[in-house]
Amino acid sequence: MPRIAVDAMGGDFAPDEVVRGVAKVSLSSDIQMVLVGHADQIQGLLDAGEYDPELISVRHCSSAIGMAEDPRDALRAKKDASINVAARMVAAGEADAMVSAGNTGACVLAAAKHWKLLPGIRKAALASVFPRQTEYEGQDHLALLLDVGATIRCDAIELAQFGVMGSAYARTISKVPTPRVGLLNMGSEPNKGGEVLVAAHRILSSLPAIHFVGNVEGNDVATGRADVIVAEGILGNVTLKLLEGVAEVAWKLASHAAHDNWRWRLGMAMLSSGIERMRDLADFQTYGGAPILGFEHLWIKAHGRSRAPAIANAIKVAAKAVRDGIVPDMTEAVAKLQ
Amino acid sequence: MPRIAVDAMGGDFAPDEVVRGVAKVSLSSDIQMVLVGHADQIQGLLDAGEYDPELISVRHCSSAIGMAEDPRDALRAKKDASINVAARMVAAGEADAMVSAGNTGACVLAAAKHWKLLPGIRKAALASVFPRQTEYEGQDHLALLLDVGATIRCDAIELAQFGVMGSAYARTISKVPTPRVGLLNMGSEPNKGGEVLVAAHRILSSLPAIHFVGNVEGNDVATGRADVIVAEGILGNVTLKLLEGVAEVAWKLASHAAHDNWRWRLGMAMLSSGIERMRDLADFQTYGGAPILGFEHLWIKAHGRSRAPAIANAIKVAAKAVRDGIVPDMTEAVAKLQ
């Protein structure tokens, strides 16, 4: 039974929604969960609803890192913050993986502080799942983009390692046996994008363990061309937020137009089931968060705005990843890279 | 009267659609145009329709650079290619600006080969216009993103120069007196994005001549937060193509869904006027192309898939830019930067 440490104090709606998410999972699974945070507060929230006490334990700690705090300063000043305590528990083997909806910078830095990188890995990556069009029957409608912000700039070897780790993660989580890996670039030819990307293309092409489909351009991101898209942090971060931003603007434009015009309003009503479907697809709540890849343990970073269902999904993803042996898989894939 | 050199042989539908675009402009303006390319072929196309011979002249040249040719090799091997000849005409003062729908790489390299950079400018930028949401009454519904592919990586001073040039161009073309300039980054705080972007933020903040609104993130691109968005080539290129790609995927998804389901079909019909409007907005044909900024002359790069109306728009934009003195404006703005 996987044991997941859950940062009860991280997220815009913590601890309420985090505790509710954990309680929910306890009623429908065999996942062991440790809620890390203010014990009295957590117990009060648990008691206000239904939960399975066999599956939930609480680890008290006195402080928490706010969503807007400077991650570096806060991690240093608050040794007893829930995020530090939970990460240390995982490092000590008291839990198998970690879930937090807290401050993203603090999550990445806490993982780096308390956990070891996999042998040979130079930098960890934050990988985000996003919905896109599919190209063939059975292709997952979600793809993986990494890095989206754990790094800023990367060299060729770091990018190649992201490809290997992302491929291992996608293989396990999405059950696609050979995920297509693409390198985000400004042209499709192997000689595009400058020294670093040309070298990354060469290294990725030479790895028999992954299915490298070459460079992918901005217009390929929302298609099914690649299941795993590799980019340095700044490029991946802008790409991910642009996808989120465009979906939001399109939704607002459509709603606004519908408000002004009866034909549009009627049209939108006709389309509502489909629009809801697209909205669901674009809704991070259903994904279960973004894994931080590259460490000896798995950290699932849930969205800061996560409510109970999103937290529950993140915990289920973490448990599945532990069950399916994602870290050993990744370790093996990375070892072959040397 | 502005004189525009038009590369008759550049673009997926050249020379037919280029010549048709030029003929069209000649019937409704006083813009002088020189069609550069195969004279017999051009004359034949002109004679097949209506045009004003007072406004159109033809400069013969024997070769052309294909859309898929390697730009560097082709430019070197084909001294007499239309793109080389037209750029030389502008350099020699025989025309005031240039329009081409040809090979983008060849356009950027030909400008660099035949034209001088503005005093102090280190790198030219390809700037693309794109539609976005507006935030206030009277804001242009088009914003400018640069660089989208003339460069790969840039330093802080180069990025700041893009901000100044983009601001001058937007001021003239969109008639917004003080365009809001943003720096594309992975966080809104001034200390985000690593050394180069932190330094670029500092320089841009210190320039009184531009209205710098700070860092913009991916999710701000489609909003009205900035009128001019500054990025190094690889980041700008991926951003632009992602915007194009998402619009295309959304359109396909909607059409496909409508095909399958009568309620959706009816809904789409109800929405059709609005969808057409959005489609128009997303249609590069109506923009008039992307300026190459940083040289002593202006080069409007029309989309490779341009048909006659897009060519006509590109010519009108080039003529307006010449009339409004965009290059002197930019020179002055850049001189203040020193």
Q: Which residues contact A179 (CB under 8 A, 6 or more apart)?
A: A144, A166, A167, A170, A171, A210, A211, A227, A228
Classify residue A7: in a domain, yes or no: yes
Quote the minimal CA–CA distance from A164 to chain B in Å: 22
Classify residue A39: in a domain, yes or no: yes
Closest in B219, B244, B267 to A219, CB measured: B244
Quote the minimal CA–CA distance from B220 to chain A in Å: 7
Can you list the alpha helix ranges (DSSP code H) found in B52-154? 71-77, 82-91, 104-114
Residues A189 and A141 in one domain: yes
Residues B151 and B256 in one domain: yes
Residues in chain A closer than 8 A to B222 (CB atoms): 242, 245-246, 249
pLDDT for the residue A316? 94
E strand or H helix at B97, and its extent? strand B97-100
B97 touches B297 (CB < 8 A): yes
| Residue in chain A lying closest to B260 (CA) | A274
In sign, the C-alpha dihedral spanning A5, A7, A11, A17 is positive
Query: What are the pLDDT digits (tens) for A185-232?
Result: 999 999 999 999 999 999 999 999 899 999 999 999 988 899 999 999
Distances (CA, A) of B6 to A166, B43, B83, B87, B307: 47, 14, 9, 9, 14
| Residue in chain A lying closest to B150 (CA) | A186
Best A147, A148, A219 member to test B by mutation, with max B CBs in 10 Å, is A219
Quote the minimal CA–CA distance from B201 to chain A in Å: 15
Closest in A243, A263, A268 to B246, CB measured: A243
Band (B289; pLDDT cuts 50, 70, 90): confident
Any idea what the Cα angle at residue A36 is, between residues A32 and A40, rounded to 5°? 110
Residues in chain A closer than 8 A to B242 (CB atoms): 218-219, 221-222, 239, 242-243
Any idea what the Cα angle at residue A153 is, between residues A151 and A159, rounded to 5°? 80
Classify residue A163: in a domain, yes or no: yes
pLDDT for the residue A239? 95
Contact B239 A238 (CB under 8 A): yes
Residues B187 and B318 in one domain: no
Contact A245 B221 (CB under 8 A): yes
Q: Which residue, A130, A165, A311, is CA-closest to A236? A: A130
A207 φ/ψ angles, rounded to the nearest 5 degrees: -95, 115
| A106-119 core/surface letters (b: 16 or more CB in 10 A; e: else) | bbbbbbbbbbeebe
Residues in chain B closer than 8 A to A261 (CB atoms): 274
Residues A197 and A207 in one domain: yes
Residues in chain B closer than 8 A to A222 (CB atoms): 242, 245-246, 249
Quote the minimal CA–CA distance from A21 to chain B in Å: 28
Classify residue A23: in a domain, yes or no: yes
Query: What are the pLDDT digits (tens) for A12-65?
Result: 999 999 999 999 999 999 999 999 999 999 999 999 999 999 999 999 999 999
Distances (CA, A) of A236 to A19, A221, B125: 31, 11, 22
Closest in A152, A184, A243 to B193, CB measured: A152
Q: Among residues B263, B286, B309, which one ends one of the domains? A: B286
pLDDT at B257 over 60: no
Residues A141 and A282 in one domain: yes
Q: Which residue, B243, B9, B73, B67, is CA-closest to B148? A: B243
Band (A134; pLDDT cuts 50, 70, 90): confident
Q: Kindly state the tokens that stand for A12.
A: 């815009």
Contact A194 B278 (CB under 8 A): no
Residues A113 and A130 in one domain: no
Q: Which residues contact A140 (CB under 8 A, 6 or more apart)?
A: A134, A170, A174, A175, A176, A227
Q: Kindly state the tokens that stand for B146.
A: 């640069």
Residues in chain B closer than 8 A to A141 (CB atoms): none
Quote the minimal CA–CA distance from A326 to chain B in Å: 29
Classify residue A11: in a domain, yes or no: yes
Query: What are the pLDDT digits (tens) for B142-198?
Result: 899 999 999 999 999 999 999 999 999 999 887 788 999 999 999 999 999 999 999
Residues in chain B closer than 8 A to A152 (CB atoms): 186, 193-194
Residues A197 and A311 in one domain: no
Contact A253 B185 (CB under 8 A): no
- Total residue length of chain A: 338
Residues A282 and A136 in one domain: yes
Residues B175 and B92 in one domain: no
Closest in A186, A241, A271 to B218, CB measured: A241
Chains A, B: CB pairs < 8 Å: 149
Strand ranges inside B101-179, DSSP E: 125-131, 142-146
Best A270, A276, A277 member to test B by mutation, with max B CBs in 10 Å, is A270
Contact A274 B268 (CB under 8 A): no
Contact B243 A248 (CB under 8 A): no
Contact A253 B133 (CB under 8 A): yes
Residues in chain A closer than 8 A to B278 (CB atoms): 253
Q: Which residue, B232, B164, B125, B150, is CA-closest to A152? A: B232
Contact B270 A278 (CB under 8 A): no
Q: Which residue, B67, B25, B29, is CA-closest to B46? A: B25
Closest in A242, A261, A274 to B219, CB measured: A242
Residues B132 and B269 in one domain: yes
ipTM over 0.90: no
Residues in chain A closer than 8 A to B223 (CB atoms): 245, 249
pLDDT for the residue A273? 53
pLDDT at A253 over 80: no
Contact B235 A237 (CB under 8 A): no
Q: Which residues contact A276 (CB under 8 A, 6 or more apart)?
A: none
Classify residue A335: in a domain, yes or no: no
Tally of domains in chain A: 2
Contact A235 B237 (CB under 8 A): no
Looking at chain A, the whole-number percentage of residues with pLDDT higher than 90 is 74
Band (A135; pLDDT cuts 50, 70, 90): confident
Contact A234 B239 (CB under 8 A): no
pLDDT at B260 over 70: no
Instruction: State the pairing for strand pair A32-37/A97-100.
Output: unpaired
Contact B152 A222 (CB under 8 A): no
pLDDT at A183 over 70: yes
- Higher-pLDDT residue of B324 and B272 is B324
Mean pLDDT of chain B: 89
pLDDT at A286 over 70: no
Instruction: State the pairing for strand pair B180-184/B56-60.
Output: unpaired
| Residue in chain B lying closest to A233 (CA) | B186
Quote the minimal CA–CA distance from B199 to chain A in Å: 15
Classify residue A48: in a domain, yes or no: yes
Burial class from Cβ neighbours inside 10 Å (0-12, 13-18, 19+) for residue A195 reads exposed
Residues in chain B closer than 8 A to A270 (CB atoms): 263-264, 266-267, 270
Residues A129 and A246 in one domain: yes
Classify residue A88: in a domain, yes or no: yes
A145 φ/ψ angles, rounded to the nearest 5 degrees: -120, 125
Residues A104 and A171 in one domain: no
Query: What are the pLDDT digits (tens) for B200-217?
Result: 999 999 999 899 999 999
CATH number at residue B249: 3.40.718.10
Q: Kindly state the tokens that stand for A145.
A: 């983009």
Taking the C-alpha atoms of residue B212 and residue B224, their distance in angstroms, rounded to an integer, is 14
pLDDT at A265 over 90: no
Range of the domain at A129: 122-286
Query: What are the pLDDT digits (tens) for B92-136?
Result: 999 999 999 999 999 999 999 999 999 999 999 999 988 787 888
E strand or H helix at B6, and its extent? strand B3-7
- Specify the range with the lowest mean pLDDT, choosing from A160-164, B206-210, B252-256: B252-256
Best A151, A183, A217, A234 member to test B by mutation, with max B CBs in 10 Å, is A234
Contact A239 B244 (CB under 8 A): no
Closest in A185, A249, A263 to B223, CB measured: A249
